[in-house]
Amino acid sequence: MKVKMILAAAAMVFATAATNAQEARYEFQKAVITTKTEMMGNPMITTYYIDDYGKKEASEFKMDMSAMGGGVMNMRSVVQADGTVQFDINTKEGQKTPGAVNYLNLTPEVVKKHKIKEKGEEIVNGYPCKKYEVNTEQMGMSVSSTVWIWKGFPVKTVVDGGMFQIETVLDSFDENGTIPEGIFDVPADLKIRR
């Protein structure tokens, strides 16, 4: 049960930055960004690869699940025009989820759907951010999040899933970082779970 909750929580963290790949989502052209997340005592580092103002985006994380009887998870998320594909790099099995909020294009429909409330502005780790409260249904759970957005990217996210709370913070931001070849590709032999 704990492993399933961690996997669901990891998917929520991944979905925080994922949106429609056809429109600009960030006010920077290219970046390699790392974030740190603490989930139920399990540290997780996620690396985001962003190009063309977010029209191309992928992220990867590794999590050691050995304390709960599992192995090391190697996950990748690739943003596409019709949603986000999240998959295990080793097993090539994954799922497709709808896109999430684009904070550069908060339409009235998106604000209503996600019950978004602007909560002012704050400086987080030196970044001037807009603060939002977001309420969504993800994987059958009601999830309340507070996000601090800088140039469209979440510098800090606090997710409250009722039985758990997850905090993610931006660790590094490099506009000159190297983007690996093929990082935005989804394997042709990927098995999508329903």
Task: Please count the other Cβ atoms lying within 10 Å of the Cβ belonging to residue 75.
Answer: 21
Tokens coding 138? 């993800």
Q: How confident is the model at residue 8 (pLDDT cuts 50, 70, 90)?
A: very low
- Angle CA 37–13–193, to nearest 5: 130
All domains of the chain, ordered by start, with CATH? 2-192 (2.50.20.10)
Q: What is the pLDDT of residues 57-98, one digit of tens each?
A: 999 988 766 666 667 778 999 998 888 999 999 889 999 987
- Report pLDDT for 138: 66
Average pLDDT over residues 115-122: 96
Question: pLDDT category, 153, cuts 50, 70, 90?
Answer: very high
Share of the chain above pLDDT 90, in %: 54
Instruction: Confirm whether pTM is higher than 0.95.
Output: no
State mean pLDDT over 113-137.
93
Average pLDDT over residues 147-167: 90
- Closest residue by Cα to residue 10 from 157, 120, 127: 157
Residue type for position 132? Y
Task: Render 77-106 in DSSP notation, one character per residue.
Answer: EEEETTEEEEEETTTTEEEEE-----TT--
Does an H or E element contain 9, and which? helix 2-17
